Amino acid sequence: MANRLKRECRKLGCLNLTDSKGGYCTEHSNETYLRYDRQRLSSKERGYNYRWTKYRSWFLRLHPICAKCGRAAASVVDHIVPHKGDDVLFWAADNHQALCKRCHDIKTSSEDGGFGNKISKK
Residues 11 and 31 in one domain: yes
Query: Residue 19: its pLDDT value, please?
Result: 84
Cα 16–22–23 angle (5° rounding)?
30
Query: Residue 30 is part of which domain span?
Result: 7-39
Q: Which residue has the higher pLDDT, 115 or 57?
A: 57
Residues 11 and 64 in one domain: no
Q: How many domains does the chain have?
A: 2
What is the rounded CA–CA span in Å between residue 110 and residue 84? 16
Q: Is residue 118 part of a domain?
A: no
Mean of the pLDDT values across residues 10-31?
78
Q: By three-state DSSP, how is residue 99 classified? A: strand
Residues 67 and 93 in one domain: yes
Query: Residue 121: its pLDDT value, please?
Result: 44
Q: Is residue 73 part of a domain?
A: yes
Q: Is residue 64 part of a domain?
A: yes
